[in-house]
A and B are shown apart, each in its own frame.
Chain A
Amino acid sequence: MNGRRLLPGLLALCLGAILARALAVSLGFNRLLLAIALGFVATNAVGIPDRLEPGIATHGLWLAGGIVLMGASISLGTVLEVGGLVLVLVVGVTATTLLAVEFLARNVFGLADRMGSLLAAGASICGVSAVVAVAGAVSAREEQIAYAAATVLLFDAITIVVYPIVGDLLDLSGMVFGTWAGVSMFSTGPVVAVGFAHSDVAGQWATMTKLARNALIGVVVLAYASYYAHAGGGGRPSVRTLWNEFPTFVLGFLALAVVSSAGVLSSAQVTSIENAYDWLFVLAFVGLGTEIRLADLRATGPMPAVVVLLALLVSSALSLAALLVLF
């Protein structure tokens, strides 16, 4: 990491975070969604200078660091109490979404196999990260990666707006709303943002559910590598993939959750850590907003967008119905 190269963009993120928090207090609007809105307006109305790009591109690191810190707020007792049911739901919805996108892409809309696989991974696991990870396993072309990434980003932008509205209209509890967002939205950043915009409880459940989904990435990459190697022309599958693709910030989150649940940290220390991750999230979401670029979203093809929309409607409706029945 070159500090001097990153500094201008990091300063821009800090200024954006301070501005988002100040505006949130004066306007009475949620600071996380405001941070995304600020980044979005900056990139689409003014544009981001090249010298700010390297620093702003670190926003994923601050999001992951914030998720690690969030482990301090988690009660392992509560997680163990209802975690089994949520885990079954995560695996069920992930598999349903993946198979739905594959079926629609191949059999209904006639998309190329690899394109369908990239969309399926992005919709079912963890957005653009999954698209890029699976692209290596299936030897996808650069334009297919860009196309699939643009489709995922389009639905990230849509769900950031739609999910909070639906959550308010249906008056969902924090646990139900958070788990619903975590199990059915695409990328980690938007899931954390809409979760904490609803309530702290929703934010924690949204993040935990999403981390469980993210942890499945190794399995999905391995499955795709095996399938395409068998069909000819894919990367070489290896059990090591399971570890190579496992997101390490999930381990940091779990370690801190164990430490905190053991009572090692005082309530003042936990409060400080909670304040720290809140700052990291605001910082990260200013950067996330700069990635929602209208010009890129307009490049999304209608067919991939329809395929992903149909799969999202199915997984979203099924998971919400299951959550309302279970909790």
Chain B
Amino acid sequence: MSIDGWRPTAVAATDRRRGLERDWRSVRVGAAIVAPASAFELQVPR
């Protein structure tokens, strides 16, 4: 069913954990959007 084979569940689990890992990347993503939206009144389309 897959083009390149299935990714084992344990790898998927670790990936997801890595995505929400305890670093500040998600906060930086938020700051990178809030800063221009508030400083330059940047309009993000719906």
Contacts and interface: CB of A to CB of B under 8 A. Distances in A.
B26 A67 contact: yes
B2 A64 contact: no
B20 A64 contact: yes
A272 B17 contact: no
Contacts of A237: none
B17 A128 contact: yes
B46 A278 contact: yes
A46 B3 contact: yes
Nearest to B19: A60
Contact of A146 (B2, B8, B27): B8
Contact of B18 (A60, A188, A252): A60
A69 B31 CA distance: 8
Given A50-B4, A252-B27, A276-B37, A129 B9 contact: no
A49 B1 CA distance: 11
Nearest to B42: A272
A179 to B, nearest CB: 21
A269 B37 contact: yes
Interface string B13-43: 1111111101111110111011001100111
A120 B12 CA distance: 19
A59 B24 CA distance: 15
Contacts of A106: none
A116 B35 CA distance: 45
A98 interface: no
A248 B26 contact: yes
Interface string A91-130: 0000000000000000000000000000000000000110
Contact of B16 (A53, A67, A150, A291): A291
Contact of B17 (A49, A69, A129, A293): A129
B9 A153 contact: yes
A78 B29 CA distance: 26
Contact of B20 (A188, A255, A295): A188
A69 B46 CA distance: 15
B20 A129 contact: yes
A167 interface: no
Interface of B: 1-10, 12-20, 22-27, 29-31, 33-34, 37-38, 41-46
25 contacts: A43-B2, A45-B1, A46-B3, A47-B1, A48-B3, A64-B25, A65-B25, A68-B27, A71-B30, A128-B16, A129-B16, A131-B13, A132-B13, A132-B17, A150-B9, A245-B22, A248-B23, A248-B24, A251-B27, A252-B26, A268-B43, A269-B38, A279-B44, A280-B29, A293-B12
3 closest Cβ pairs, A-B complex: A60-B19, A65-B29, A68-B30
